[in-house]
Structure 1
Amino acid sequence: MQHLREAAEKAKCELSSTAQIDINLPYLTMDKSGSKHMNSKITCAQSESLVAYLTKRTVGKNKFFDE
């Protein structure tokens, strides 16, 4: 799980200066069939969309507590 967090932080930093990045995490986990790897591309727009969703959820919960 730590590798995934580190990759997410690195991706966030890289996306501040480029439009798209590749995320490659070998040996992320294992199951009966063997090791599992993560190979993915993410764009700045995709990242912003995911963050916007989380921000809306957080703001909504804060408004609940303000009332």
Structure 2
Amino acid sequence: MRIVAIVVAAGLAGPLAAEVRTVDAETAPGIRQAGFLAVDLTSGRECRRAQSRLDDRHAPWSTFKIPNF
């Protein structure tokens, strides 16, 4: 992981600029409501957002299909 990050960082010759846009997920129309959980596997540290939604079950939103052989 670290080697890949170093190679990518070395490939950037100049400053990197990006536009950051934020959306209020609670009031924006058409945005799905979901929870988020990220776990650092080395330290066990967890980052949770909208924890009350983590146990809600729903159909996948992805269009990525896995062949059923």
TM over 0.5: no
Q: State the TM-score, normalized to the length of structure 1.
A: 0.24
Q: State the TM-score, normalized to the length of structure 2.
A: 0.24
* Structure number with higher strand proportion: 1
